Copies of this chain bind each other. A is one copy, B any other.
Amino acid sequence: MDAMGIVKSDLGISVDGFVAGTDQSLDFPIGKTADGVPAHTVLHRWMFEAEAENQAEADAIVDAGAFIMGRNMFGPDRGEWDVSWTGWWGDDPPYHGPVFVLGHRPRPPLELQGGTTFHFVTDGIESAMRQAGEAAGDCDISIAGGASTVNQFLAAGLIDELRLHIAPLTLGAGERLFDGVAPLNLETVSSRSTSLVTHVVYRIPR
């Protein structure tokens, strides 16, 4: 029996393949739609408005032994670190484990409540993956986003499972999953729809 964890990524995505809109900012953490509303309110609407019927998929997003995210997912980049910025998630982030934040500027680890500690990695995705692997042990590693970070890991062949949460709308503009990633063959693991989302799980054979 193989008790090793896998590397997975959960992504809220539009039917036309966008995982973020345009003009990301403090008020629009994953950008705007063409109508100017925050993209997260439409892409992730199922998490806010239909939690009960999508509980298993919502829980799975934060079910990992370690997480890796890009600099912009942790917070807007304004040059030097504003050390009063502790992420978007308040005092008790949903990760409850180590989160490795990719970036160029060193910063001491940031320990918040509930077991979440943000570690700032300045020497690239392979190093983040090695550190996350040591922290996760036999548990899964989650590549939490954003789009360009997930695309970097996909291009490097480092993701085993893509878990897409497809919102029933098109955005028309923004950041696309698979941008700059060479063609991939996937294996369909499962799919399920509720009124606000279609969940599809793909394995990426290594």
Q: Are A198 and B193 in contact (CB under 8 A)?
A: no
Q: Are A198 and B195 in contact (CB under 8 A)?
A: no
The answer to the question of A80 belonging to the interface, with a C-beta cut-off of 8 Å to chain B, is no
Given A16-B17, A17-B17, A200-B193, A183 contacting B172 (CB threshold 8 A): yes
Q: Are A191 and B182 in contact (CB under 8 A)?
A: no
Return A64 CB to nearest CB of chain B, in Å: 22
Q: How large is the interface on A (under 10, 10 to 19, 20 to 34, 35 or more residues)?
A: 35 or more
Bound form: Cα–Cα A35–B182 in Å: 11
Of B16, B177, B190, the residue contacting A178 (CB under 8 A) is B16
The answer to the question of A33 belonging to the interface, with a C-beta cut-off of 8 Å to chain B, is yes
Jot down 24 A-B pairs with beta carbons below 8 A, ordered by A: A15-B164, A15-B178, A15-B186, A16-B17, A16-B178, A33-B183, A34-B182, A34-B183, A35-B183, A168-B185, A168-B186, A169-B183, A169-B184, A169-B186, A170-B181, A171-B183, A172-B181, A172-B182, A188-B194, A188-B196, A188-B197, A190-B193, A191-B191, A191-B200
Residues of A within 8 A of B (CB): 15-17, 33-35, 164, 166, 168-172, 176-178, 181-188, 190-198, 200, 202
